[in-house]
Homo-oligomer: A and B are copies of this chain.
Amino acid sequence: MYLNEKKVPEVVIKRLPRYYRYLDELDKEGKTRISSTALSKKMGVTASQIRQDFNYFGGFGQQGYGYNIQYLLEELKKLLGIDNGYKTIIVGAGNLGSAIANYAGLKKRGFKVLGIFDNDEKKIGTTVGGVEIYDVSGAGRFVKENKIDIAILTLPKNETENIADMLAESGIKGFWNFSNAELKSINSVFVENVHLTDSLMTLSFKINQNEE
């Protein structure tokens, strides 16, 4: 509904989860309002940038009087699809896949993990984080039958593209991709490629510069 008016730039989309996290924190501290200056400090962007960001979605409340935290949180929840109850599967039952299956942050944001898929016969039939591990050969059918929204890919690079193609044909809507394979969003299948080491490089840059 919002996108019809103006296309939201990627950089703005990427700030939305951070707004959500910060406001959620403030809400938990019992705060009810935040000035645009205070929010701007927390976010590390200017107050005018925040207004511009929020204008993509209708503005989110009065300037000058600051923002109503709970209202903002509710709007962000709707935008981010938190509480939509999106259904996910994890493909790859290695350490990273298991870590994600056990990760409470997913449930807290309303995401459900309905199955984990792997080709290791020793793992198939066991459970991780209360979720059963199935044979990867059945993943496409599982996605179709259970109307899975998102596949979390934690398998080796060389296996990722074939599986992704197969799941896309089975009606998946998005990939949260942790493999090194750089997947591209096609048609209505969206992709977020996670590059874990990017933030390690950022850290390394700062340490390195500080030593020079």
Q: Measuring CB to CB, which residues of chain A are less than 8 angstroms from any residue of chain B? A: 1-3, 8, 10, 13-14, 16-18, 20-21, 25, 44, 79-82, 84, 86, 94-96, 98-100, 102-103, 105-106, 109, 111, 149-150, 173-176, 180, 182, 185, 188, 190-192, 194-210, 212
Please report the C-alpha to C-alpha distance between residue A196 and residue B65 in the assembled complex, in whole angstroms: 33
Which of A21, A103, A207 counts the most B-chain CB atoms under 10 A from its CB? A207
Given the complex, which residues of B lie within 8 Å of A14, measured CB to CB? 198, 202
Please report the C-alpha to C-alpha distance between residue A190 and residue B209 in the assembled complex, in whole angstroms: 11
Contact of A202 among B17, B202, B207, B209 (CB under 8 A): B17
Please report the C-alpha to C-alpha distance between residue A86 and residue B204 in the assembled complex, in whole angstroms: 8
Given the complex, which residues of B lie within 8 Å of A20, measured CB to CB? 201
Closest to A194 in B: B199
Given the complex, which residues of B lie within 8 Å of A206, measured CB to CB? 13, 174, 185, 190
The answer to whether A103 touches B196, judged by C-beta atoms less than 8 angstroms apart, is yes
Copies of this chain, count: 2
* 6 tightest Cβ-Cβ pairs between the two chains A and B: A81-B208, A95-B99, A17-B201, A96-B99, A17-B198, A81-B204
Question: What is the distance, in angstroms, from A116's C-beta to the closest C-beta of chain B?
Answer: 12
Given the complex, which residues of B lie within 8 Å of A100, measured CB to CB? 196
Question: What is the distance, in angstroms, from A149's C-beta to the closest C-beta of chain B?
Answer: 6
- List 16 additional A-B contacts (Cβ < 8 Å) besides A103-B196, A175-B203: A8-B209, A16-B201, A17-B197, A17-B202, A21-B198, A79-B209, A80-B204, A82-B201, A95-B98, A95-B102, A99-B99, A105-B180, A174-B207, A176-B203, A190-B206, A192-B200
